[in-house]
Structure 1
Amino acid sequence: MTDQKIKNMEDFAAVSGISRPTISKYFNDPDSVRKSTREKIETALEKHDYRPNIYAVNQNRRQTKNIGLVVPNLTDPFFAGFARTIEGLVVEAGFNPLLLSSHGGPEQELANLDSLRSIKPAAVLMAPLGRASLVERVAEFTNEVPTVLFDANLEGIGEAFFGSDNNQSISLIVDYLCRSGEPPVFFELKAPINPNAYKRRTAYIDAMERLGHEPNLIQVDGQGWNFEEIGFREGERILTNQRLPSNTILCSNDRLAIGLLSAAFENGLKVGLDAGASLRIAGHDDHPFSRFTCPSLTTVSQDYEAIAARSVETVLSLVDSRERPKTREEILFEGKLVMRGSA
């Protein structure tokens, strides 16, 4: 027996070296985990003299085993990848993930929350639309149901938010592009719906000024989630009619960059690093398709596996404790530069 005080399953997971989802699964049904894992858990229980709150465990068994998962648009492989990772972790913990897509619309986002409210989920993981979200209505839901936000933040809403550090990631790629060639212009929507886009705009301006370069924004019209189409249409217009102040273009996200790459090809412009190339194009997110463009897209990867894992761990902790935390947790994860052929 050790002297260390174990307060909850999260503490027990830390000292036992067993994942929090696996421990939760064991307490819900010991036979649901492998024999070797079960023996390891039971040995750790003896060593640390830990016993779960039986009342809380029984309460958890009486509530639904459903955990809601709401994303902006499942046709986007980026969010499909997020959802796939989260679903696997939720299933591993012995819960049933219920996946809903908002299809880029605030009314559908609310309809998804109403659907979840009717089945009384144990908790909800939500990637909100962001600026398009009907924030007060979303807040009403999160006051009723334990909710963790990821990807896009709605300030003060939900028990926690986990996302990417846009200041760090944009600074990283601006530094690289300035070191390796001409300082980049920034290609973005005038009025994006995702709050990450505004943070990336500000981060680009700050990074350029820090390096002694003048920021240049290319802001284009477009609505909705058809970013490739917007990148292609507006990219063609700009490449045909506008003299660019730099041969390097940093796009606010990879999907805009994919459309812009296509526009460059249609206009006979070679993109890349060799002497015959007239443009460099880079993006952000490391979209699943970015490695298969021609040339492959230089970008910054988001650590969506870490974001997903922390989001699920926090939701399971909320379900386990059945208590709302006094303070809202917020963690940003750093991105990594992915150098490919386009820049």
Structure 2
Amino acid sequence: MSEPKIKNMDEFASVSGISRPTLSKYFNNPDSVRKSTRERIEEALEKFDYRPNLYAMNQNRRLTKTIGIVVPNLTDPFFVKIARHIEDHVIAAGYRPVLLGSHGTQEQELENLNNLRLLKPAGALLAPLGRVSDKPQIQQFCDEVPTVLFDANIEDIGEAFIGSNNQQSITTVVEYLCRTGDAPAFFEMKTPTNPNAVKRRTAYISSMERLGHLPQLIQVDGDGWDFEEIGFREGTRLLSERHLKTDTILCSNDRLAIGLLSAAYQQGLRVGLGDGCALRVAGHDDHPFSRYTCPTLTTVSQDYSAIAQTSAETLVARIESNRALDSRREILFDGKLVMRGSA
């Protein structure tokens, strides 16, 4: 006959013969109890197949061991990759990560923050949507919960921002493209979704002017996070009209570039360097798919590992000090040029 189902910690304490305070101490930090006690608890967990209700435990604790991680879109491998790195660092620091995706909408981003409030998290790591974010609501959340922003910055919100140095990375790729061929035009959406896009446009303009070239902005229609579709649709229109003043296009991000590469293929244009090539295309981010396009995509990589580690370490230090930072910090990491077949 199987053991009866244990419904709560009180029942588990009764059947295991271990006091409830000791169990609470163990579930908060297994290393906080003696080895012999830890072994008894783990044997009882196995025997009675009991798993504590972490949500209920969190409601009864002033400070939980939960850290919320919110990203714009969990269908984008870029955010999956950086979130996985952050999760690893959060777990190594002794906290429990809760990963949430905002599906590219303001409503879901706010719902994620409200759901985190219910969990009473120790802190949060937030990659905000940016332009469509409800900034007053995010500010209110950051006033309640220690929060570090990463990837996309919203000025003066959160205790810190950890991200990429867009000025440096765009300057690096513009200089490379000018050095190896025609000066590039900049392919972007008229109303960028992510704040990084605006910084990249500004960096492109300043880099071109410094090098003595006239900036060429190609601003296309499109909204939301379907970047590949926008790149393909607007790239097809652009290439079919044959009005380009250069054979080199720098895209605001790799996902737009992936769509543009597909459009070039459909138009029968060979992309890359060398004889027979009609177009050069470069992007930004080193998206996980950029090394598998045809041709492979020249881009600038973001330092995923450093951004993830620094974001997690900054938040954990803030939580464990139990004291707000003296001033808002901004830490930017340089990008690295990745030369591939497309340029």
TM-score (norm 2): 0.82
> Could you list the runs of 5+ residues in structure 1 that have no partner in the other structure?
1-26, 33-60
Q: Which amino acid is the alignment partner of residue 330 of structure 1?
A: E
Q: Does 1:100 align with 2:95?
A: no
1:68-99 per-position Cα deviation (integer Å, ceiling 9, x unaligned): 00000010100000111011111111211000
Q: 2: distance between equivalents of 1:230 and 1:236? A: 10
Residue 240 (structure 1) aligns with: 240
Alignment size in residue pairs: 289
1:6-38 per-position Cα deviation (integer Å, ceiling 9, x unaligned): xxxxxxxxxxxxxxxxxxxxx955489xxxxxx
Residue 317 (structure 2) aligns with: 317
Q: 2: distance between equivalents of 1:326 and 1:171? A: 32
Residue 132 (structure 1) aligns with: 132
Structure 1 segments (4+ residues) deviating >3 Å: 27-32
Residue 212 (structure 1) aligns with: 212
Q: Which amino acid is the alignment partner of residue 218 of structure 1?
A: I
Q: Which amino acid is the alignment partner of residue 331 of structure 2?
A: I
> Could you list the runs of 5+ residues in structure 2 that have no partner in the other structure?
1-27, 34-60
Q: 1: distance between equivalents of 2:30 and 2:211? A: 57
The Cα of 1:62 is off from its aligned counterpart by 5.7
Residue 275 (structure 1) aligns with: 275
Q: Does 1:120 align with 2:120?
A: yes
1:106-164 per-position Cα deviation (integer Å, ceiling 9, x unaligned): 11101100000111000000000011100001000000000000000011111100010
The Cα of 1:319 is off from its aligned counterpart by 1.3
Kindly, what percent of the aligned residue pairs are identical?
Answer: 65
Residue 287 (structure 2) aligns with: 287
Residue 221 (structure 1) aligns with: 221
Q: Which amino acid is the alignment partner of residue 66 of structure 2?
A: N
Q: Which amino acid is the alignment partner of residue 84 of structure 1?
A: R
Q: Which amino acid is the alignment partner of residue 109 of structure 2?
A: E
1:246-273 per-position Cα deviation (integer Å, ceiling 9, x unaligned): 0000000000000000000000000011
Q: Which amino acid is the alignment partner of residue 250 of structure 1?
A: L
Q: 1: distance between equivalents of 2:32 and 2:282? A: 50
Residue 261 (structure 2) aligns with: 261
TM alignment of 1:142-161, pairs within 5 A: 142-161=142-161
Q: 2: distance between equivalents of 1:242 and 1:188? A: 18
The Cα of 1:274 is off from its aligned counterpart by 1.7
The Cα of 1:242 is off from its aligned counterpart by 3.6
Q: Which has the larger radius of gyration?
A: 2
Q: Which amino acid is the alignment partner of residue 326 of structure 1?
A: D
TM-score (norm 1): 0.82
Residue 298 (structure 1) aligns with: 298
Q: 2: distance between equivalents of 1:88 and 1:332? A: 21
Q: Secondary structure at the match of 1:188?
A: strand
Q: 2: distance between equivalents of 1:182 and 1:63? A: 57
Q: Secondary structure at the match of 2:313?
A: helix
Q: Secondary structure at the match of 1:249?
A: strand
Question: How large is the RMSD of aligned CA atoms in angstroms?
Answer: 1.4
Q: 1: distance between equivalents of 2:316 and 2:29? A: 12
